[in-house]
Structures are given as C-alpha cells and as structure tokens.
Amino acid sequence: MDFYIYPGSIVIDANNGTVTGWGTPVAAGGNGSSTMTIEMGSLYATNDANHKTAPGASGTLFTFDVSGSTTVSISKNAARGGVVKENGYPDLTDPICTCTAGGGVSPPSIDGTVTLMNLTSGREVGKQLQIKLYDVNTATLVETLLTNLGSGGTYDVNCAVADAGTYDLYYTIAPYGINDPNDHWLQKKVAQIVLASPATVNVTLTNGDVNGDNSVTSADLGGLKTNFLKNGTDPYLAGDLNEDGSVTSADLGILKTNFLKAGDPLP
C-alpha cells in the first residue's frame, strides 16, 4: 500500500501571494508501506494592482532528505488537471527532480557489459576496468572509477564523487600504459550518459594496441614481431592479443584487422 501525504488546507495572503498557513497535513495509507507519495503544489496569484508578488517562472518547489537507498520520481497529477494555466501564465514544463548523493541518497551507479574483442573466453574475468567521467559542459575530469570485470565482461560500479547528471565516459582496461601486456585495447568514449541509479552502458573495446599508446600502428607490429612464436602466460607476452598463451598468426590477424585505428582521446 502506498503512503500519501498532502496539505490539508493552505492559506494565502491575497496582497502578496505568500503562504501564511498550511493547515494540518492529511495522511492516507498504512504502516509498512514500501513507497510514499507526496502531493504538493505552488499556489500564487497573478501580478496586478492587488497581487504584487507572483513568483518567477522557475525555482525550487520542494526538497527532502532520505536515510537510505531511495528511488525518486516526479510527475504531473492528471487527476488534478495536470498543471493549471491562468491569466497569461504559460503552462509549466514537465517537472524536474534533481537528486544528489547527500542526505543518504545512494550515489549514481553504472553497470553493463564490456566486450573485449578477440579475447580468449574467460580471460576477461578479473581484468580491471577504468572509467573516466568528464563533465559534458566543462570537459573537466570529475571522477575515475575502477572495477574488476566479471564473467562475460559484466561490471557494476558506484560513483563516489559524481552526482546525478550527464557525463562523457571513457572506457579502457587499466593500468593504461606503454608496453603493458594486459592492456591492448583502444580507449572508447561513450558520450552524454545520464547517470541515475543505475545507468546501464555496454561498450566494445577494439584490440591490437600492443604498446598501449591508444593507436594500432607499425610500432605495435614491431612489438608483436619481437615475441612472434613465443609462449608465455606468467605474464602474458606483449603481442599475445587473444591471450591464448602464445604469439602466433592469429594475433597478427587481429592487429592487421585493426591496423591504423585509434582510440578516443581524452578531452
């Protein structure tokens, strides 16, 4: 059963449009409810000789804190006629609910699947995924997330700094550095992701970057040739692009397929 709270009676000063009394809130529902509905509204008079302080066209109507993980939604109430349009005031746009990580609200999270091209099945498990979050308006780094991939490349990570909002995400396998044999995929940008809890983002990373400079060039071919026909799994050899324990023509084929491709650069 839902639990509802709404004003019992509202008293408005006709001279200035301010609320002078709310009355006693009316509640309906019962204990043990898993959801709660709060009904609210902005009541005001128009600007004329008798009503001098009608509010602006935008602003904050309501704020609240919660003590645990909470899903919040907001909408017009069709049963109350949606949004009232009166005396030349334009109809309000759809309401916007902005949630932040403060006050006990769970921070945004990201989940999904990362497909590592041409990788031997099972080798994705435990690889460290790096996701950089950049503000879409300022192109500044907000947070770097690290998490280990599960079977099939699945991942699920919570933000620690970033609030709900829109970000450009940059995916790669960490550590991202020169000649790291475990990092041979190009960086991938996923633009304008709206982070809520959770946001699901699936990406595919291109293989072939032997030397970890975010491009597949003749330098990577040289690195592969150095270990061609060699075997090794502790650690895996640079050039073993499919990570099957040896550097062979199969790895050369992967590099050839992606030759001259480049990953997405950071801002």
Which residue is associated with the tokens 């907001």? Answer: 74
The pLDDT, as a whole number, for residue 136 is 93
Residue 123 confidence (pLDDT) above 70: yes
Domain definitions of the chain by residue range: 1-106, 108-267
Separation of alpha carbons 259 and 221, rounded Å = 9
Query: Is it the case that residue 82 has pLDDT exceeding 60?
Result: no
**What average pLDDT score do residues 10-19 get?**
60
pTM for this prediction: 0.62
Residue 66 has pLDDT above 90, yes or no: no
Which CATH number is 108-267's, of 1.10.3720.10, 2.60.40.4130, 3.40.50.970, 2.60.120.10? 2.60.40.4130
- What are 201-218's pLDDT values in tens digits? 999 999 999 988 999 999
Res 37: pLDDT: 58
Going from the C-alpha of 258 to that of each of 88, 164, 186, 203, 252, the distances in angstroms are: 61, 36, 10, 17, 10
Could you tell me which residue, 17 or 169, shows the higher pLDDT? Answer: 169
Q: For the segment 29-55, what is each residue's pLDDT rounded down to a tens digit? A: 444 445 555 555 544 444 555 544 444
* Residues 145-196 pLDDT 10s: 999 999 999 999 999 888 888 999 999 998 644 445 568 999 999 999 998 7
String of DSSP letters for 139-181: --EEEEEEEE--GGGEEEEE-SSPPSEEEEEEEEEES--TT-T
What per-residue confidence (pLDDT) applies to 3? 44
